C-alpha cells in the first residue's frame, strides 16, 4: 500500500417532510483533496438550524422539531429518543447522558452530568464474596442506575420550548409503526445477536423471529413506545418512581441483581462548570471528571508546543508526537479520573499549561517510550451515539449518550423494550484506586461531549464516539481543522490512528512495549514504516470509534457547516 488514496462514497437519503440538505458525493471536479485523503461527502451548509447525528431518520426528527419552532434542546431530546429506538445497541433510556449547552441569550456554557450511580448494595465485599476479582462486563452485576431520562428533564426544564409530548411524539410513532433498519446498524445488531439470544427477555425485544433484523427490515418496539408515552406524560418521575422503576427492580430481583427502588428514587443529576484550555487561539471546552474529557485538553496542551502545521498530516513526526502525548495523558487518566464526590481530584493542575510543559520533557522524538503505567484496557469497546444541534438563535447542544458496550449489559426487560447499561463494569475492586467501587457512586465515564469557542462565541459543536478512542478522535479532529486547514467534513473523514493499551512498567514479565497503534487505510506506508523504526508496534485496520458529528458556525457569514463521517449511517441536515 503506497500513499493510497482513501475514497469513500456514501450516498445519504434524507427522509421526512422537510426539505433538508444532506451530505452527498461531489463531482470529482469540485472536490478539494487534502492529499493523500479524499472525502466522499460535501459539507452541509444551511442558514437557520442544523442537526448532525449517526442515523438519518433521527437527524430528520430533530430538524422537524427545529422547523416547528423548537429549541436546540427540544431537538436534541427528540433525536436522542429516536436514536434509542433506531440504534438500540448504542444508546437508550437504559444508559447515561452528558451534555454541553451554549445559551445564546446569556452567552454562557452549561454542563450536565446525567450519569447514574452504583446500587447501594454494590460493595467490594459483596463482589469478593462472589469470588470475583473484577466486575463482569455483562449481566446484572454490571448495572448502574440509568441517568438518561433525568438528563432529558433537566435540559428541558432549563431550555425547552415545545410541549414535552410533542418532543417525544416522533420517536413514539416510529416505535409503534416501525422503521427500516439502516445498514451499519443492522451489522452491529447481527454481531450482538448471539449474546442477546442467551437472555429470553432480551431476545423477545431485539430478536424478532429469533434473528436480528436485516438491512431494510421493519422493526417495531411497542414496549418502548409505552415507556416513552409514560415519560411524555409524567416526566422523569415515570422512570425513577413509577412503573418503569418498579419493572426494572422486579427484573433485577429475577436476575439476581442489586437494584432497589431507593437506588432510583435517590438518583440526581449534576450541573457542572465546563473546563477548557486554549489551543492556537481557540477555547476547547470539556466536562470535568468522572468523564475523560480533560484528556483532550491535556493532549492539546502537550501538542501546542510543536509546529504541527509545518509537519502536516502525512508526517511521521506528527503521528509519533500524537501517540507519545496520548501515552502520557492516559497514564494520568488511569490514576486521577474518578467521581469528584468521593475524592479531591487535581483537575486544574492536570489541564494547566505549566504541567504540560513539565510532562512534554518526557517526549523523545527519536523513539517510543515503553515505561508509562498501564491504563485500563476495559475501556476499548464502547457503543455510543453523539448528536449535535444548533438552532436559529444559535443555541447549541453537544450531547452524548451511551449504553457503554453494545446493548449494554445484554439485558433488556421485555416489558420495557430497552437495554440496561453495563457502565458499572468500569469500577475497580482495588481498595486503593480512586475509581474503586463504593455504594451510590458514579463510575469513571468514557463519553464526552465537546464544544469550541472563538472570541467568546461558539465555533464548533462536535463529538467522536468510541470509548477509549474518544479523546484521541477529538484531538485528531481539532488538529485536522485548526492545524491542517481541513473543512468540517474532511476533518472527520481523514484516516485516523488509535493507540490501544498503555505500557506496563519495565521489568515485569510480559510487559507491554508501548502498546499498539492501529492505522487506518490512508495512512501512508512510509509513515507506518518510520513509526515502526522508532519502536512503535503498528497494525493496519479500522480503529474503534467512528461516528464523528459536527456543526461549525462560520464566524464570517454566520452560516452553519455540518459534517457527518462515513463510519456511521448518519448525516447532517439543515434548513
The per-residue pLDDT for range 42-86, each reduced to its tens digit, is 999 999 999 999 999 999 999 999 999 999 999 999 999 999 999
pTM of this structure: 0.90
- Strand blocks (E) in 450-555: 450-454, 457-463, 497-500, 516-519, 537-540, 549-553
Residue 423's pLDDT is what?
95
Question: How far from 361 is each of 161, 336, 383, 471, CA to CA, in Å?
Answer: 51, 21, 35, 22
The pLDDT value recorded for residue 510 is: 32
Quick one: pLDDT at residue 6? 34
Residue where the block lists cell 429516536: 82
**Cβ contact 372:506 at 8 Å:** no
CA 144 to chain centre: 18
556 is catalytic: no
Q: How far apart, in Å, are the Cα atoms of 65 and each of 74, 215, 260, 391, 565?
A: 7, 27, 36, 10, 23
In this predicted structure, what is the pLDDT of residue 5? 35
Residue 116 · residue 225 · CB < 8 Å: no
The count of other CB atoms within 10 Å of the CB of residue 541 is 10
* Cα Rg of the chain (Å, integer): 22
Q: Rounded CA gap, 329 and 293, in Å?
A: 11
Closest C-alpha to 76, from 161, 188, 178: 161
Q: By the 8 A CB rule, do 316 and 526 touch?
A: yes
Question: What is the CB neighbour count within 10 angstroms for residue 160?
Answer: 17
What's the DSSP call for residue 401?
E
Q: Which residues of the chain have pLDDT under 70?
A: 1-39, 372-383, 502-513, 544-546
From the list 39, 314, 384, 446, the catalytic residue is 384
* Closest by CA position to 291, among listed 384, 371, 407, 363: 384
Give the chain's largest Cα–Cα span: 67
Please report the pLDDT score of residue 371 as a whole number. 73
Residue with cell 442506575: 145
pLDDT at position 236 is 98
Residue closest to 475 by CA, chosen among 315, 272, 319, 311 = 319
Contact 318, 310 (CB under 8 A): no
pLDDT at 2: 38
Q: 28 CB contacts (<8 Å, ≥6 apart)? A: none
For residues 570, 15, 57 and 151, what is the CA-based torsion angle, rounded to 10 degrees?
100
- Rounded to whole angstroms, the Cα distance separating 415 from 422 reads 19
Amino acid at each position: 500500500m503506497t500513499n493510497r488514496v482513501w475514497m469513500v462514497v456514501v450516498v445519504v437519503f434524507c427522509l421526512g417532510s422537510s426539505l433538508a440538505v444532506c451530505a452527498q458525493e461531489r463531482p470529482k471536479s469540485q472536490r478539494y483533496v487534502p492529499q493523500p485523503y479524499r472525502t466522499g461527502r460535501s459539507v452541509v451548509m444551511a442558514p437557520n438550524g442544523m442537526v448532525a447525528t449517526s442515523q438519518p431518520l433521527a437527524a430528520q426528527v430533530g430538524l422537524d422539531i427545529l422547523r416547528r419552532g423548537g429549541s436546540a434542546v427540544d431537538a436534541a431530546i427528540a433525536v436522542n429518543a429516536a436514536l434509542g429506538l433506531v440504534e438500540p445497541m448504542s444508546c437508550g433510556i437504559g444508559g447515561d447522558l452528558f451534555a454541553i449547552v451554549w445559551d445564546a441569550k446569556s452567552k454562557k456554557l452549561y454542563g450536565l452530568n446525567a450519569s447514574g450511580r452504583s446500587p447501594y448494595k454494590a460493595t467490594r465485599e459483596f463482589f469478593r464474596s462472589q469470588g470475583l476479582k473484577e466486575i463482569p462486563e455483562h449481566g446484572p452485576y454490571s448495572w448502574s442506575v440509568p441517568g438518561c431520562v433525568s438528563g432529558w428533564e433537566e435540559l428541558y426544564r432549563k431550555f425547552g420550548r415545545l410541549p414535552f409530548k410533542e418532543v417525544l411524539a416522533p420517536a413514539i410513532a416510529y416505535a409503534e409503526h416501525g422503521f427500516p433498519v439502516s445498514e451499519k446498524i443492522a451489522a452491529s445488531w447481527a454481531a450482538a445477536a448471539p449474546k442477546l439470544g442467551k437472555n429470553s427477555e432480551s431476545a423477545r425485544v431485539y430478536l424478532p423471529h429469533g434473528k436480528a433484523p436485516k438491512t431494510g427490515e421493519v422493526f417495531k418496539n411497542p414496549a418502548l413506545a409505552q415507556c416513552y408515552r409514560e415519560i411524555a406524560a409524567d416526566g422523569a418521575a415515570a422512570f425513577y418512581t413509577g412503573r418503569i422503576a418498579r419493572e426494572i427492580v422486579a427484573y433485577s430481583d429475577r436476575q439476581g441483581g442489586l437494584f432497589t427502588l431507593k437506588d432510583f428514587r435517590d438518583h440526581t443529576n449534576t450541573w457542572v462548570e465546563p473546563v477548557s484550555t486554549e489551543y492556537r487561539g481557540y477555547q476547547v471546552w470539556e466536562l470535568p471528571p468522572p468523564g475523560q474529557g480533560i484528556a483532550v485538553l491535556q493532549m492539546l496542551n502537550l501538542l501546542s508546543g510543536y509546529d504541527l502545521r509545518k509537519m502536516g498530516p502525512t508526517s511521521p513526526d506528527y503521528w509519533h508526537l500524537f501517540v507519545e502525548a496520548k501515552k502520557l495523558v492516559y497514564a494520568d487518566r488511569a490514576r486521577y479520573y474518578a467521581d469528584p464526590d468521593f475524592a479531591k481530584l487535581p483537575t486544574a493542575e492536570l489541564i494547566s499549561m505549566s504541567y504540560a510543559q513539565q510532562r512534554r520533557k518526557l517526549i523523545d522524538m527519536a523513539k517510543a517510550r515503553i515505561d508509562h503505567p498501564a491504563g485500563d484496557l476495559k475501556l476499548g469497546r464502547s457503543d455510543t451515539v453523539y448528536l449535535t444541534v444548533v438552532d436559529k438563535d444559535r443555541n447549541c447542544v453537544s450531547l452524548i449518550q451511551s449504553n457503554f458496550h453494545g446493548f449494554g449489559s445484554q439485558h433488556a426487560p421485555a416489558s420495557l423494550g430497552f437495554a440496561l447499561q453495563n457502565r458499572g463494569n468500569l469500577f475497580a475492586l482495588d481498595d486503593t484506586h480512586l475509581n474503586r467501587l463504593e455504594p451510590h457512586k458514579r463510575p469513571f465515564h468514557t463519553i464526552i461531549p465537546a464544544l469550541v469557542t472563538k472570541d467568546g462565541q461558539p465555533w464548533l459543536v462536535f463529538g467522536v464516539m468510541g470509548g477509549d478512542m474518544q479523546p484521541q478522535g477529538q484531538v485528531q479532529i481539532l488538529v485536522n481543522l485548526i492545524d491542517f486547514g481541513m473543512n468540517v467534513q474532511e476533518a472527520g473523514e481523514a484516516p485516523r490512528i488509535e493507540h490501544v493499551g498503555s505500557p506496563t512498567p519495565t521489568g515485569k514479565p510480559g510487559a507491554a512495549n508501548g502498546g499498539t497503534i492501529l492505522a487506518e487505510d490512508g495512512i501512508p506506508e512510509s509513515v507506518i514504516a518510520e513509526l515502526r523504526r522508532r519502536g512503535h508496534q503498528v497494525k493496519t485496520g479500522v480503529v474503534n470509534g467512528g461516528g464523528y458529528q459536527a456543526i461549525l458556525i462560520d464566524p464570517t457569514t454566520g452560516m452553519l457547516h455540518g459534517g457527518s463521517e462515513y463510519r456511521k449511517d448518519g448525516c447532517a441536515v439543515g434548513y
